[in-house]
């Protein structure tokens, strides 16, 4: 579920991937539903690719959000996230993820996570764990590979011989004029 939810650097909030175009993605804001293109110059990160630092291993964001949802009973965070002091944020987050690395997870990271959680809830997204995908997506990829393999065999060789014959003809015509 989090694969299609994106964070765009320099833009507040979260976005849902709507479509892919040539050298761009069409995204829709989870807050107001406005759509706009994002280009290769924009840094775009899927929430499925984000993890939080812990003392032992990194924890995927889906697990952190699930833990937060369970702690909050699928309700938004009650306190004012933007005005909360650093100690309040760290103590609250310690209840969600007790072994988070206090040196590498900054209060701004916790603040952003809590804001994202509230946005996801507001958008009706409450399931964060990735479901296993069907193998139906693999079949078109295999067909495309087979199709590409068929194209790269003999037709290219025939085109090369025709081009070299045309080049010889042009040089022969030029020699008669000289």
Q: Per-residue pLDDT for the chain (178 aa), expressed as one digit of tens each?
A: 789 999 998 899 999 999 998 899 999 999 999 999 999 899 999 999 999 999 999 999 999 999 999 999 989 998 899 999 999 999 999 999 999 999 999 999 999 999 999 999 999 988 887 765 544 444 444 444 444 444 444 444 444 444 444 444 444 455 555 4
Helix axes 107-122, 61-72, angle to 10 degrees: 70
Assigned CATH topology for domain 2-122: Arc Repressor Mutant, subunit A (1.10.10)
pLDDT at position 164: 47
118 touches 76 (CB < 8 A): yes
Residue 68's Cβ-count burial label (10 Å; 0-12, 13-18, 19+) is buried
pLDDT of residue 147: 45
Q: If 0-12 CB within 10 Å is exposed, 13-18 middle and 19+ buried, where does residue 27 land?
A: buried
- pTM given for the model: 0.70
Cβ atoms of residues 133 and 82 within 8 Å: no
The rounded distance, in Å, linking the Cα atoms of 34 and 28 is 5
């Amino acid at each position: 579920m989090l694969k299609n939810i994106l964070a765009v650097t320099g833009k507040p909030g979260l976005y849902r991937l709507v479509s892919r175009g040539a050298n761009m993605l069409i995204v829709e804001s989870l807050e107001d539903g406005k759509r706009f293109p994002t280009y290769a110059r924009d840094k775009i990160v899927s929430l499925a690719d984000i993890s939080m630092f812990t003392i032992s291993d990194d924890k995927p964001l889906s697990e952190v959000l699930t833990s937060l949802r369970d702690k909050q009973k699928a309700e938004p965070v009650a306190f004012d996230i933007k005005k909360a002091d650093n100690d309040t944020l760290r103590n609250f987050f310690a209840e969600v993820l007790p072994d988070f690395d206090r040196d590498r997870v900054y209060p701004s990271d916790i603040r952003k996570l809590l804001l994202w959680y509230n946005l996801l809830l507001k958008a009706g997204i409450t399931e964060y764990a990735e479901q296993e995908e069907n193998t139906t997506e693999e079949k078109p990829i295999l067909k495309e590979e087979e199709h590409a393999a068929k194209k790269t065999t003999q037709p290219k060789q025939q085109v090369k011989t025709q081009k070299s014959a045309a080049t010889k003809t042009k040089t022969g015509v030029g020699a008669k004029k000289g």
